Amino acid sequence: MTEPTYAGLPTFLRRPPASDFSQADVVVLGVPYDLATTHRSGTRLGPRAIRAASLMLAWCPPYAWDFDPLERLRVVDGGDVHFDPGRPHEAPAAIRAAFAGLAGQGVLPLALGGDHFISYPILQALHAVHGPLALVHFDAHSDTWRDEVGRIDHGTMFFHAAAEGIVDPARSIQLGMRTHNAETHGYRVVDARELHAIGVDAAVAAIRERVGDHPCYITFDVDFLDPAFAPGTGTPVVGGFSTHEALRLVRGLAGLRVVGMDVVEVSPPYDHAEITALAAASVAQELLAVAACRPTA
């Protein structure tokens, strides 16, 4: 409370930096990677921007909850995943290895992206421990376009994840899509038209029915938000959702068996007054509260 929000070490929500995760419940890891983008780059700067914006949130718990997730969970900031930008083909393995280490210790990861491709190696790492995962996916894009094996692209990784059995489409749900893809690959797709029509409460019910008690991974692409609320992203699409709606949707996930989560696609060069970074940091804070409510067995 005595340190100004504009000073000090910019860890996520002022959590202590750590390299030893043996006593942690949740580890925040940045993944400053944007080599899979198909339009505007810049999301490699996303983790730093989200952390800086989170300092404005660190002085109090999220207002809509009756507890402070930081009092229930031991959360540390593990810094950023390291990879050599001169060897871009090695980055997926480096990401996978970093999150495999967390999963092997029974630690819940919260990843800060980076472009959305980073979810794929994270899912691979978690699948090795938990088996096929349910995916709860907030986005303007389905990211399930068909692609050849081995390509690194932020619009195809959930096609690969389904094809390889890493995620179980029959347990998975995608929300907010407002770009056309005729193939669902078995995912339940609640596109923007349907989500706007049915509203938050019905959408939450659909998520909970779809996922059930299956281990699930929550991924939040900031372009789920309308560009009016999140201009700082690489592939903005109009007709999206407000931050208020997004936070309500995330809160509705309390009680799911969450094994991992991420917030991705913040591109600071296109942001204004840090509103996209602040939205992402706020979603990440809500995800910590959701994690604090997950079943322990």
Three-state secondary-structure class, residue 251: helix
Cα dihedral: 76, 69, 99, 111 (round 10): -90
DSSP state of 161: H
Q: How far apart are CA 56 and CA 252, in angstroms?
A: 24
244 is in an annotated binding site: no
**Spatial distance between the Cα atoms of 30 and 113, rounded to a whole number of angstroms:** 6
Asked if 135 and 172 count as a contact pair (C-beta separation under 8 A), the reply is yes
Annotated binding-site residue? 139: yes
Nearest C-alpha neighbor of 256 from the set 218, 200, 199, 221: 218
**DSSP assignment, residue 164?**
T
Question: Closest Cα partner for 140 from 177, 181, 174?
Answer: 177
Asked whether residue 223 is marked as a ligand-binding residue, the answer is: yes
Q: How many angstroms separate the CA atoms of 58 and 209, rounded?
A: 33
| 116 annotated ligand-binding residue | yes
**How far out from the chain centre does Cα 7 lie?**
26
- Whose tokens are 């339009």? That residue is 39
Q: Are strands 108-113 and 75-80 parallel, antiparallel or unpaired?
A: unpaired
**Residues of each annotated binding site:** 116, 139, 141, 143, 221, 223
**Residues of each annotated binding site for Mn(2+):** 116, 139, 141, 143, 221, 223
